[in-house]
Amino acid sequence: MPVDVLVGLQWGDEGKGKIVDVLAPTYDVVARFQGGPNAGHTLTFDGIKHVLHQVPSGIFHPHIINVVGNGVVLDPVVFRVELQKLTDRGVDWAKNLHISKKAQLILPSHRALDRILEEARGGGKIGSTLKGIGPTYQDKIGRTGLRVGDILATDFQQRYNEAVARHATLASFHGQTLEIEQAEADFFSAVDFLRTLQLADTEYLLNDLLRQGKKILAEGAQGSLLDVDFGTYPFVTSSSTIVAGACTGLGIAPRHIDKVYGISKAYCTRVGSGPFPTELHDEVGEQIRAAGREFGATTGRPRRCGWIDLPALRYSIMLNGVTEIHLMKADVLDEFDEIQICTHYRNPEGEETNQLPDLSDLQTMKPVYTSLPGWKVNLQQIDSAGSLPKELKDYVSFLEEQLEVPISIVSVGPDRVSTLHMG
């Protein structure tokens, strides 16, 4: 059986958690392949909102095996809190949750360094969530990081002490100290808890499941435009957020990849610093933010809001080989008389392009819009694709024509049931 991959096509926060939850019943396995607690996947069902940070979004389905892959950076403290919340809500996660021994550990000193390094950037801040993600990935690439499997070693304490000493030296370059003593108690308690879980060489587990004919859904975090190679560098995350990251983040061969679900909002948002051509700094942007409750699931930060950006979407679709698009939060645009769609960019010389340029050029680009009539209907009261207003159907058709990829799902509300299958 194949591996299908779900990726965000924008700057993250597209609604991937909800779609994983909707699709999950048709899969045997949900595997998270990158990122860390800087991601927040929000799922709403039975009138209850659930936010996951590191746990795969298939965890609410008892028949599904959930895997935290080697590409993830894991904070044991956050992970334990997540699992306790699931327990409090009656979710029996213990049997079906597996964690890669090769996943990197986020240490208290990583979180301290994240803050120190971000402050050192002054006005050029990246917009880090300060969860220790960047420093952990730096250690991974620098071959000095600690992995989940290391907690089983008899000399783990020594390895930990050596890592913290390196981090303390780096902090001293910026005239600061780590100040992590209080956080360390929680960390080591959480490590003891982590040792009781199913730690495994999950690359073998996943490939064995494939041989057994099991169907796997690979779940990414953040969005394609935050990819460390292809995003709006340097205002990106520290991992590969595109489909290729599923192969390296889970240990599966490219030949196993089948469907690629690309997730996009009906508009666009971004958290933190970096270019955003269609950003709205007026009352329209505020209206979108209020209607969409656009505040980070992890940090609570208000998201920057703007109209949908087709050059950026075309780029993400190309990089990921997207086979179908799931359009999220269409209901947020219910009250608008007109909906704007950025189809091209225009540079200062007046030349137009439908491609996403590199950072220096992108910062000079102005969006070129096409306007379509709004639907002015409360979409959350609609329960079938056939009942959607003509204006929204026209909006979907325009996007499909421009992007040359079918839109198979339109989400019209936060709840699991507010998910309409098109066609």
End-to-end CA distance of the chain: 25
Residue 337 annotated as binding?
no
From 50, 53, 98, 140, the catalytic residue = 140
Residue 166 annotated as binding?
no
Residue 196 annotated as binding?
no
Tell me what percent of the chain is helix, strand and coil, each rounded to the nearest 5.
Answer: 40, 20, 40
95 is known as an active-site residue: no
Residue 244 annotated as binding?
no
Task: Return the amino acid letter for 64.
Answer: I
Rounded-to-integer distance, Cα 334 and Cα 6, Å: 26
Residue 275 annotated as binding?
no
Tokens (6 digits) for 295: 């505040």
Residue 347 annotated as binding?
no
Residue 303 annotated as binding?
yes
Which parts of 160-205 are beta strand (E)? 198-200
Residue 41 annotated as binding?
yes
Residue 296 annotated as binding?
no
Residue 17 annotated as binding?
yes
21 is known as an active-site residue: no
From 13, 21, 227, 309, the catalytic residue = 13
Residue 171 annotated as binding?
no
Residue 134 annotated as binding?
no
Residue 348 annotated as binding?
no
CB burial string 9-19: b at 16+ within 10 A, e below:
bbbbbbbbbbb
Q: Are 10 and 313 in contact (CB under 8 A)?
A: yes
Residue 129 annotated as binding?
yes
Neighbours of 88 (CB within 10 A): 8
Q: Are 322 and 405 in contact (CB under 8 A)?
A: yes
Residue 18 annotated as binding?
yes
Q: Are 268 and 15 in contact (CB under 8 A)?
A: no
215 is known as an active-site residue: no
Residue 416 annotated as binding?
no
Residue 40 annotated as binding?
yes
Residue 38 annotated as binding?
yes
Q: Are 129 and 298 in contact (CB under 8 A)?
A: yes
Give strand pairing partners of 327: 264, 410
Burial class (CB in 10 A: 0-12, 13-18, 19+), 266: buried
Task: For residue 71, give the nearest of 231, 208, 244 by alpha carbon.
Answer: 244
From 4, 21, 41, 227, the catalytic residue = 41
> DSSP labels for 331-367?
GGGTT-SEEEEEEEEE-TTS-EESS---HHHHTT-EE
Which parts are annotated binding residues for Mg(2+)? 13, 40
Which parts are annotated binding residues for IMP? 13-16, 38-41, 129, 143, 222, 237, 301
Which parts are annotated binding residues for substrate? 297-303
Which parts are annotated binding residues? 12-18, 38-42, 129, 143, 222, 237, 297-303, 329-331, 411-413
Which parts are annotated binding residues for GTP? 12-18, 40-42, 303, 329-331, 411-413
Residues forming the active site: 13, 41, 140
